[in-house]
Structure 1
Amino acid sequence: MALKCAVELRLADIIHSHNGPIILHQIASGIDSPSPDILYLSRIMRSLVRKKIFSEHCPTDGGETIYELTHVSRWLLHDVELSLAPMVLMQNHPWVVAPWYYLSQCVKEGGIAFKKAHACDVWEFASQNPEFNKLVNDSMACTTKIVMMAILAEYKAGFDCIGSLVDVGGGTGGMISEIVRSHPQIRGIDFDLPHVIATAPLHEGVSHVGGNMFEAIPCADAIFMKFVLHDWDHEDCIKILRNCRKAILEKTGKLIIVDIVLEKDSHDLFDDTRMVFDLMMMAHSSGGKELTELEWKEFLKGGFPGYKITKIPAIPFIIEAYPM
């Protein structure tokens, strides 16, 4: 909540705008309020300094404490190319926090936590609520830019032989536009639900197609899915994979999945976050979960018997799946 407060008050932006360390009263003067409470602000800053979101320095001459950005707080800046501010706001919004309070009820009786909180699943809620839809789209777009850097660096050659690529669940087209920008030979198709596509901006080399992945997916040389399958239960995943298999034009085509692979004995930088993602699927998805490699193999074997997993310096992995 303190982190959410910092993003809402644009504390990182205020410090950044001064191009150097500033005192508490200078931070307060930049807040959009005629009378900010300095004591509350000091307590918020103290907590965030403790978490190394900001840094503080106390002058030896007894002057006022000064505050600076750290490498972490630079991810909280607004209106910059790479920012996690929209994700912080989305994950800590009351609509998104509410389902977490139903986890114990889900353990006792099953069911979908998001439905228990809002009487519909997350996709229905987004289609009926433009504000929530924007909240989700903005958060997905900001993380897409960050993950895309790792994908293009580690998997660049994987796109070289593709003529057409469908991004299933591609949101407003941020991911597929980055791929096409780096590989202009690709004809990109951004595929998502109609209410999502309705808000998508124009991207050069990318066409937007509205539809339902449970019914049909546009045909292409390859299919791309980032953080899609983990949202759904086993039966729904099989339906999606079958439609992916039908949509791949050639037997030499492939399915490119960007998603989490849980590893029991790994201890890299993102392991804790991957476990939290699994709990987040309990709270927000329609029966989804994060999978181990063995579970991925079981999912894929019906339509994509061949696969290769590539670990990248990011939360997700790249899973290439082949129909032959």
Structure 2
Amino acid sequence: MGSNHGCSANEIFEGQIHLYKHLYAHVLDSMSLKWMIELGIPDIIHNHHQPITLPELASTLQIPLTKVRGVQSLLRYLAHCGFLQIVRIHHHTEEKEAYALTAASQLLLKGSDLSLAPMVELLTKPHAVHAWSQLKKWTYEDDLTLFDVSLGSNLWDFLGKNPENNKLFNESMASDSQMMNLALRGCNWVFEGVESIVDVGGGTGTTARAICDAFPNVKCTVFDRPQVVENLSGTNNLRYVGGDMFESIPKADAVLLKLILHDWNDNDGKKILENCKEAISDKGKRGRVILIETVINEGQDEHGLTGLKLAMDVRMTCLLNGKERSEEEWKKLFMDAGFQSYKIYPLTGYLSLIEIYP
């Protein structure tokens, strides 16, 4: 005979709903966003200058009549998830249903300075999606990442051998940096008294250029893998340097690490921070390392925010052998690398700004 394991029928049905919700959302959430971007729907609505009806959207996209119902189904799901808003408008003397953008879907506009469309494109690439189907094999492969298991190489080697994916990776990191730049506009005090700064893993220089614009007297160095910076041109107060952060880091008053340390385990993170400490060793009170990272605060953060941070920890751990860290874990890493003190400040909804001092 079957058993409910002490659960009532209603509890079993609730469990089924919970299971199916996550099972279906695993693929549908990300792929519906990919579909939305590939068809240019956010841009179509934006350029329409008002909410758009389903017939208007279908006409613009030249969708076959047989697919209109399917498109409506996807739009309704995206609206339920907060990426569209369903409104009522007057259209040729009739009241009709129409779709408007939300704050989330405005981040998918391809021409926007704050567009995160490249991030969606990167994380929905076939190689990125396929990797997660290898979790069981990953579990039993000592010290290998999901990318090692699914691609046969780590992420950095894969990007080095695939220029198109490397370009998209850099674009997605640049788009994420634009969000950080928005937050940093209110944190000018972080760079006061700093005459030189190195942005380690700074990519194409999105954040460094913003710092240069805000502080023309600050000398900025973008330090990244040689293949990332080799064709980039600097300015009077911005230069690009290729190298390996595990070997050494150019000297400066401050070293900036934006979402770098979460890519690495504690041993690698300690080595990076030791090199940062060496880079600022002769700068006295001006010397500091500035981190932009996640700080896991289970029990303190709102439930949904904690869920995002824990999901990011799963991604970093499985894909890169990295990790997101709690404050206690950050503190231990700083002390192990020879730093004496630190301060944590809120920055964005899920990121913190951390200053650490030698």
* TM-score w.r.t. length of structure 2: 0.84
Matched residue type, 2:294 = I
TM-align CA RMSD: 2.1
Name the structure 1 match of 2:294.
260
Structure 2 match to 1:14: 44
Which ranges in structure 1 are unaligned for 5 or more consecutive residues?
none
Shift of 1:236: 1.2
Which residue in 2 is equivalent to 1:320? 355
Provide, for residues 218-240 of structure 1, a one-character-per-residue CA deviation record: whole Å limited to 9, x for no partner: 11111110000110112211211
User: Could you list the runs of 5+ residues in structure 2 that have no partner in the other structure?
Assistant: 1-30
- State whether residues 300 and 321 of structure 1, in contact with CA within 8 Å, keep that contact through their aligned partners in structure 2: yes
Are the equivalent residues in 2 in contact too, given 1:177–1:204 (CA < 8 A)? Answer: no
The answer as to 2:153 corresponding to 1:123 is no
Deviation at 1:56, TM superposition (A): 2.1
Do residues 25 (structure 1) and 60 (structure 2) align? no
Quick one: which of 311, 321, 324 aligns to 2:346? 311
**Matches of 2:89 and 2:177, distance apart in 1:** 41
Contact in 1 for aligned 2:84/2:105 (Cα 8 Å): yes
Flag the 1:66–1:203 CA change in 2: closer, same or farther, 3 A: farther
Tell me if the contact between 1:177 and 1:203 (Cα under 8 Å) persists in the aligned partners.
no
Q: Out of 235-244 and 61-70, give the one that drifted further.
A: 61-70
Correspondence 1:72-221 to 2 at 5 A? 72-110=104-142, 111-153=144-186, 155-198=187-230, 200=232, 202=234, 205-221=237-253
Offset from partner CA, 1:120-175 (integer Å, 9 cap, x none): 1111111111111111111111111112221231x311201100000001011111
* Deviation at residue 290 of structure 1 after TM alignment: 0.6
Rg comparison, structure with higher value: 2
Instruction: Report if the CA contact (8 A) 2:45-2:100 is conserved.
Output: yes
CA distance in 1, matches of 2:36, 2:275: 43
1:48 partner SS: helix
**188-197 or 43-52, which moves further after superposition?**
43-52
| Contact 2:233 2:240 (C-alpha < 8 Å) held by counterparts | no
Range moving further from structure 2, 17-26 or 124-133 = 17-26
Residue deviations 1:85-135 (CA, integer Å, cap 9, x gap): 111111111122222222333333442111111111111111111111111
- Residue 238 in 1 paired to residue 273 in 2? no
**Cα separation, 2, equivalents of 1:218 and 1:232:** 20
Cα deviation digits, residues 227-264 of structure 1 (max 9, x gap): 00110112211211121111114232011111111112
Offset of residue 58 of structure 1: 5.1
Question: How far has the Cα of 1:84 moved from its partner?
Answer: 1.5
Q: Match of 2:72?
A: 42
2:327 maps to amino acid: E
Deviation of residue 180 (structure 1)?
1.7
**Counterparts of 1:265-284 in structure 2 under 5 Å?**
265-268=299-302, 270-284=305-319
Residue identity opposite 2:306 in structure 1: D
Q: Percent identity?
A: 34
Is 1:113–1:282's contact at 8 Å kept on the other side of the alignment? no
Secondary structure class of the residue paired with 2:299: coil
Distance in 2, matches of 1:104 and 1:251, equals 50
Aligned residues: 320
Change (3 A) 1:316 1:58: closer
Q: Distance in 1 between matches of 2:99 and 2:277?
A: 54
- What letter is aligned with 1:144? S
CA distance in structure 1 between the partners assigned to 2:53 and 2:172 by the alignment = 31
Cα pair distance change 1:8/1:308, threshold 3 Å = same
Letter paired with 1:318: L
CA distance in 2, matches of 1:183, 1:55: 40
Which amino acid in structure 1 is aligned with residue 52 of structure 2? I
Q: Is the 8 A contact 1:147 1:314 kept in 2?
A: no
Relative to its length, the structure with more helix (as a share) is: 2
Q: Aligned-pair distance for 1:63?
A: 5.6
Counterparts in 2 of 1:150 and 1:257: CA distance versus 1, 3 Å: same
> What TM-score, normalized to structure 1?
0.92
| Mapped partners of 2:233, 2:132: distance in 1 | 32
